[in-house]
Amino acid sequence: MDIKDFVANFADQFDDTDPEMITAGTAFHDLEEWSSLIALSVLNMVNKQYGYNMTFDEMKPCVTVEDLFNFVASKVK
Amino acid sequence: MANPFSLEGKTVLITGAASGIGRATAKECANMGATLVLFDLNEAGLASVKADIGDESIVTMALNLTDYDALCNAVEQLPKLDGVFSNAGIVLSLMAKFSKKEDMEKIFNVNTFSHINLIQQLISQKKLNKGASIVFTSSMSGVYAGLVGGSLYGSTKGAIVGYSKALAIELAPRGIRVNTIHPGMIETPLTKNTALSQDVLDEDAKNYPLGRYGKPEEVAYAVVYLLSDATVWMTGSQLLLDGGYSVK
């Protein structure tokens, strides 16, 4: 898994947020556009792109995009 | 006077009988005196529901309803039926932008096509008695309300309604009735298996005017009603059980 690709895939779930604003260190829950709809999109993206069926409960402790990446990477090794 | 809600003397087939709404319906049908045939993919679950009901005469068959040949063979072994609860289903929580052909095939195969194949086989193998009752599990989703991530699931459940309307007309001359039930969110293993966390589910339950999700047995009572002689003049109907969700 590549963190740059993951951040790009993550940013692609947003419609109004400039992708440049989203980095590995972004605390994504704080983004203005973040919502339960975007959260489900991210879970669907993880499932489709990385083959892991992630849940909301697993997403909850992740603060930054990198945390999310590390979690998914640990599951799809 | 005979109780019109009784299922005494009726033989009823239930699919998806090992858990959730199917399992609760098996129990309630047994309580009302029905002779049961239960289908499910989960063999251990079938054994467990049979043991739970405590009736050795219950026939169980473990099979994948999406396997057409297996389905045909299973129908061949069935006795004549007075009731069918066509209930097996899966949930897929997928946003529209991620919904692809393989996802459609997966969920339509289980939630729609296997039901249509089952009925086609029951009719062509002449397994339905005159006056039988067929009940399909549709949903609140896709028919009375749209739910986020439920575009494909709702489509499969809407398709069942369309199918049941024509089926009701075709089978009416033999007094066979066809109706659909439309549950809102019910506390079953199916809802527990979605990506949704308990927090999200608890919050969502507040959207129901009656203050909570439904329980499997609360749907089962409605199915018993539709399978019984209390509804002999009811066909092509949609029975909504949603705690008032879609009223809002």
pLDDT digits (tens, 9 = 90+) for B90-131: 999 999 999 999 999 999 999 999 999 999 999 999 999 999
The DSSP string of B18-52 is TSHHHHHHHHHHHHTT-EEEEEES-HHHHHHHHHH
Query: Cα angle vertex B68, ends B140, B76, to 5°?
Result: 105
B163: annotated active-site residue: no
Of A48, A54, A56, the CB nearest to B98: A48
Of A45, A48, A56, the CB nearest to B195: A56
pLDDT digits (tens, 9 = 90+) for B147-158: 889 999 999 999
Question: How close A48 comes to chain B (CA, Å)?
Answer: 8
Distance CA B154, CA B130 (A): 32
* Residue A48 with chain B: CB contacts under 8 Å: 98
**One of B153, B208, B213, B225 is an active-site residue; which one?**
B153
User: What mean pLDDT is predicted for residues B199-207?
Assistant: 83
With a cut of 70, say whether residue B193 has pLDDT above it: no
Of B148, B195, B200, the CB nearest to A37: B148
| Cross-chain residue pair B148–A55, CB shorter than 8 Å | no
**For residue B84, what are the β-bridge partners?**
B13, B134
pLDDT at A6: 98
**Pairing mode, if any, of strands B81-86 and B128-137?**
parallel
Give the nearest chain B residue to A46 (CA atoms): B98
Confidence class for position B1, pLDDT limits 50, 70, 90 = low
| Cross-chain residue pair B197–A37, CB shorter than 8 Å | no
Distance CA B156, CA B238 (A): 15
Confidence class for position B188, pLDDT limits 50, 70, 90 = confident
A60, two tokens: 């909850």
Confidence class for position B84, pLDDT limits 50, 70, 90 = very high
| Cross-chain residue pair A54–B95, CB shorter than 8 Å | no
The backbone region for B99, taken as left when phi is positive above 0, alpha when psi lies in -120 to 50, beta otherwise, is beta
Assess A54–B contact: CB distance below 8 Å, yes or no: yes
pLDDT at A41: 96
State which CATH number among 3.40.50.720, 3.40.720.10, 1.10.645.10, 3.40.50.300 fits the domain covering B11-247.
3.40.50.720
| Cross-chain residue pair B195–A60, CB shorter than 8 Å | no
Proportion of chain A above pLDDT 70, given as a percent? 100
- Please state, rounded to an integer, the average pLDDT across all residues of chain B: 95
pLDDT at B192: 64
With a cut of 90, say whether residue B199 has pLDDT above it: no
The model carries a pTM of 0.94
- The conformation of residue B144, written as its DSSP 8-state character, comes to T
> How many alpha carbons lie under 13 Å from residue B181 in its C-beta half-sphere?
30
With a cut of 80, say whether residue B200 has pLDDT above it: no
Query: May I ask the CATH class of domain A3-76?
Result: mainly alpha
| Cross-chain residue pair A57–B197, CB shorter than 8 Å | yes
pLDDT at B158: 98
User: What mean pLDDT is predicted for residues B70-98?
Assistant: 97
pLDDT digits (tens, 9 = 90+) for A13-45: 999 999 999 999 999 999 999 998 999 999 999
Strands in chain B per DSSP E: 11-15, 35-40, 59-62, 81-86, 128-137, 177-183, 238-241
pLDDT digits (tens, 9 = 90+) for B88-98: 999 999 999 99
The DSSP string of A36-74 is HHHHHHHHHHHHHHH-----HHHHTT--BHHHHHHHHHH
* Residue B196 with chain A: CB contacts under 8 Å: 55-56
